[in-house]
Structure 1
Amino acid sequence: MQNNGWIDSFEQFAQNWITKSQVPGVCMGLAKDGQIFYSNGFGFRDVERQLGVTIDTVFGIGSITKSFTCVAVMQLQEAGKLSVHDPVVKYLPEFRLKNLDVGQITIHHFMTNTSGIPPLPTFLASVMRSLDANEVEDLPLMQNQTDGTVPIDTYEDLMSVISTLDLELLGPPGTEFSYSNDCFALLGAIIERVSGKSYEAYVKEHIIDPIGMEHTSFFLEELNGYENITKLYIMRDRGDHKEVLSSPNWWDSPASRAAGFIKSTVRDMLKYTDMFCKGGLTGQGNRILTPESVQQMMTPYFPTDMAPGQFYGYGLVITTDYYGKTLVEHSGGIKGVTAQMCFFPETGLAGVALSNLELSPVVAVMVGALNSLENRPPESSHLVSKIDFLTEEAMDQYVGDYQSSEFGTLPVRLENGQLVLSFLGENYVMRPFAEDIFVVRAFGTDFSARFIRDGNNKIVRMAFAGRQFTIQDKKTSGGNEK
């Protein structure tokens, strides 16, 4: 399809990242109009047995599952069984928030992460049964959680727990973006009630099978003895070094499968991205969605706060100006999983990268491939700062501890004339980007941090990694209370 001079520089760049980050295995594939023109497996699906990674190795895809959930909702809308503008309570009458009216929250708000519901402390309870199988190994991954958690096994359990939480909405529905696994989990409940089938059976029957995704499932046992499945790996901090360990236990969450629990391969996922590029048609000519539904999924409804110029559609992230083109993507991460898919609807170019370690730099690898393909240095960024410099006095207003019940506390400090954010045990320099917006480079990728002010111009929250964190106490650079 194109000359292959880009491959060497890309593979060297990718291998450097993979080695530096100690990732056991990564598979990366690129396709144009559904035809795969590049694929490579870096490293191993099983380090101990030295089994390599291929385009048909099964990995987790994490939150890319959210796009499948939205495809299912759009299919049900096409069938006249629901409208995305229906209130959630029409299908889930048990969905309640303590002392708050939820009547205005629609399916559209759930699909775009704009319900106004802040991050919730439900994750540990939802994967509790998996942890029971492997507590010693997995619990260090679950910081900021408390003992005495009761497992969440069903959608009804999840709604019951949510109804007891003391919450304040971030704003009226449709006015604030905050990534919500819980809202996507409950879309699974809506699909189940409207279709009369389990969520997993519906997705298999109406999306996975008609697209011809042969090695894709929520359940590994459904793959009928297929052996090309990765082992999972976790990173442990040993103080003076980081160690990667095998951790065979796949997490599951029956009440949250709609938010992140599909397993798939690069080959299968490139069939899936091709369906979007072809306006809802598969390579075999099966219609999954109408072109109108695909367009609705790729509409940039609301800024994501994950990177400047990025918007959320329905289970898809849209960058409206990525070197002059529209880029549609989604990433995923959970224990033993980092995943990235992207496609350019105008040109039919698509890419998928999957790995077997959480928080691995697969987004950097993907961006490196896209850059190399277009003769840019692999580490290039499409972001151009509007502000290059802030005084220490100007930066001091952002200093403080920002908190969410999902991720705990994120401290922001002023150190050596730079603003520094601590996230998941690492410190990151915050580069000024635009008014109240900074860019943080983590895992080889640019993320944005946006500070949110109230009506009195006082900073009250920080949006980072798609979530909103509330300021707990304002600290000065000297650490004294203000």
Structure 2
Amino acid sequence: MENQKWIENFEDYANKIISKNKVPGAALGVAKDGEVIYERGYGHRNMEQNLEVTNDTIFGIASITKSFTAVAIMQLQEAGRLTVEDKVITYLPELILGNKEHTEKVTIHHLLTHTAGLPPLPTLYHTMRRTMENDSSISEKQRARLKERDPIDNYEQMMKYIGELDIELLGEPGTQFSYSNDSYALLGAIIERVSGTPYDVYVSENILKPVGMKNSTFDINAVLNSPMVTVIYASKENKGEKEVYASEAWWDSYTMYAGGFLRSTLADMLSYTEIFRNGGTVGENRILTPESVQEMIHPHVPYQENKYYGYGLMITPDYMGGTLVEHGGSLKGVSSNFGVVPEKGLASVVLINLAGVPAAKLMVAAFNAVQEVSPEKPLATYTDFEINSDELEQYVGNFKSGEGAEMSVTKEEGKLHLTMEGASYPMRSVGEHLFTIELNESETPIRFLFNINGEMYGLFLGVRQILKQKEAVEEVEA
């Protein structure tokens, strides 16, 4: 049967990725015109007890939660409680982002599109401290970082913390894109203050319930006490081999709920995709107006070739004759992705119980396969760009982000290499100040950033600006 051919092709590819990455368990699903045409649990939600993954297995979805936060903001705009052009300080008067003058220009739109001028900040770490410090799987370096300050337990403490940071702003609001968990946490604070209800209660009452997401929750205790929850897994290197093991501690953070702490199931997430496929309606229930959905999936800000950020969603405007609307998530024990191609009535969801797995590749593979294209076909391809070996010197340096990412670019034998997390990646020149590396089954672009004086000050990798570390100036004694 013709219909089965795409499933065979997809499953061959999915099995390769799952096996190569030693994935304990995954839930994969595809819907067409609101009907589920494929759903499957791969592997186990609990390897030790031999419990399989089903479409009702509860996984973390991490940053896919940002799309729920954006839906909530659009609902409040429809209700006349706020507009996306409102200044953030209207609702969060105590907030300081770098300095008062900059903060006064930041709008809700800037937070939604990661263009408030914020570089990656260390906030998330400290908001998760109470659950991280009980986790035996974290490294000594992570443990030391946690002890740098007190835990952040609420929005007020978070705003005080951000206000005290010495932030090197990336530029005027609206001019620079860099993915920001803090921006979405602040949106959570706005939702709470405007609606008069806690963020998680608002989302539960106004999105989860009307969509019919009966097994989705922010409540970590409800998750841990559910017989349907997956065990989360972590990995470590053992004699050069990746070793996957069960790790009991789920990281949690009330303050960062809006950025990444919803837990959900394949069945629930496939229902949720209907909002973006069906102009804001799920079954009989209208969640958003078609106009609000259009505002969310509009390609507001470019951040890569043919890639834009909307509101809580990543947009690829030209994907096989349609628009790919998606978002992924990564956190301890979580690799997730969901996507919709509204023009073609297609939706796909990928939930995995191990971090660092290319969930986005599996989502795209499902869309490719169902459209009778090779599952391996990448979203973007790059061509070689001639560059003189002497020009490579300008890219050399050490880079570090407030979230803890550290990397270095070195020149060896006339070629650039990026080193991070103990691995070295050769860099291929594909454009002016643009290179790619092979990372997580994908050719991943790295763009170097230059200021108006022509000095390289950072690089853009994935969705974040990571700034070059300033070299220590040695004092010369007179």
Q: TM-score when scaled to structure 2? A: 0.94
Equivalent residue in structure 2 for 1:330, among 327, 330, 347:
327
Aligned with 2:369: secondary structure? helix
Cα distance between partner residues in 1 of 2:380 and 2:358: 18
Please, which moves more after superposition, 409-418 or 123-132? 409-418
Please, which moves more after superposition, 143-152 or 74-83? 143-152
- Alignment RMSD (CA, Å): 2.0
1:432 aligns with 2:429: yes
- Look up the match of 1:103: 104
1:192 aligns with 2:192: yes
Cα distance between partner residues in 2 of 1:439 and 1:98: 32
State the 1:379 CA deviation.
1.8
Instruction: Give ranges in structure 2 of 5+ residues lacking alignment.
Output: 472-478
1:295 aligns with 2:271: no
Instruction: Please list the CA deviations of residues 118-146 of structure 1 after superposition, one character each: whole Å capped at 9, or x if unmatched.
Output: 11111221101102332x22345838826
Is the 1:421–1:429 contact (alpha carbons within 8 Å) kept by the matching residues of 2? yes
State the 1:450 CA deviation.
1.1
- Look up the match of 1:477: none
Cα distance between partner residues in 2 of 1:179 and 1:141: 24
Instruction: Please list the CA deviations of residues 136-159 of structure 1 after superposition, one character each: whole Å capped at 9, or x if unmatched.
Output: 223458388263321000000100
Equivalent residue in structure 2 for 1:423, among 420, 423, 433:
420
Equivalent residue in structure 1 for 2:461, among 453, 457, 464:
464
- Look up the match of 2:373: 376
Amino acid at match of 2:84: V
Cα gap change, 1:65 to 1:399, in 2 (>3 Å): same
Cα gap change, 1:242 to 1:295, in 2 (>3 Å): same
Cα distance between partner residues in 2 of 1:466 and 1:151: 27
Is the 1:385–1:432 contact (alpha carbons within 8 Å) kept by the matching residues of 2? no
1:238 aligns with 2:250: no
Amino acid at match of 1:96: I
- Give the alignment of 1:308-387 within 5 angstroms: 308-387=305-384
Instruction: Please list the CA deviations of residues 235-279 of structure 1 after superposition, one character each: whole Å capped at 9, or x if unmatched.
Output: 112352221110121111011100000000111111111121110
Instruction: Give ranges in structure 1 of 5+ residues lacking alignment.
Output: 475-482
Cα gap change, 1:104 to 1:237, in 2 (>3 Å): same
- Give the alignment of 1:102-181 within 5 angstroms: 102-134=103-135, 136-139=136-139, 142=142, 145=145, 147-181=147-181
Aligned with 1:251: secondary structure? coil
Moved over 6 A (4+): none
Please, which moves more after superposition, 251-260 or 426-435? 426-435
Is the 1:125–1:149 contact (alpha carbons within 8 Å) kept by the matching residues of 2? yes
Instruction: Please list the CA deviations of residues 195-218 of structure 1 after superposition, one character each: whole Å capped at 9, or x if unmatched.
Output: 010000000000000000111111
- Give the alignment of 1:249-288 within 5 angstroms: 249-283=249-283, 285-288=284-287
- Look up the match of 1:27: 27
Please, which moves more after superposition, 357-366 or 332-341? 357-366
Is the 1:433–1:439 contact (alpha carbons within 8 Å) kept by the matching residues of 2? yes
- Look up the match of 1:478: none
Cα gap change, 1:229 to 1:143, in 2 (>3 Å): same
Aligned with 2:215: secondary structure? coil
Amino acid at match of 1:190: I
Instruction: Please list the CA deviations of residues 410-446 of structure 1 after superposition, one character each: whole Å capped at 9, or x if unmatched.
Output: 1112345442222333333333232222223321133
Is the 1:119–1:180 contact (alpha carbons within 8 Å) kept by the matching residues of 2? yes
State the 1:396 CA deviation.
3.1
Q: How many residues align?
A: 471
Aligned with 1:4: secondary structure? helix
Please, which moves more after superposition, 367-376 or 460-469? 367-376
Amino acid at match of 1:263: R
Percent identity for Structure 1 against Structure 2: 44
- Give the alignment of 1:214-233 within 5 angstroms: 214-222=214-222, 226-233=226-233
Cα distance between partner residues in 1 of 2:2 and 2:71: 32
Q: TM-score when scaled to structure 1? A: 0.93
Aligned with 2:92: secondary structure? coil
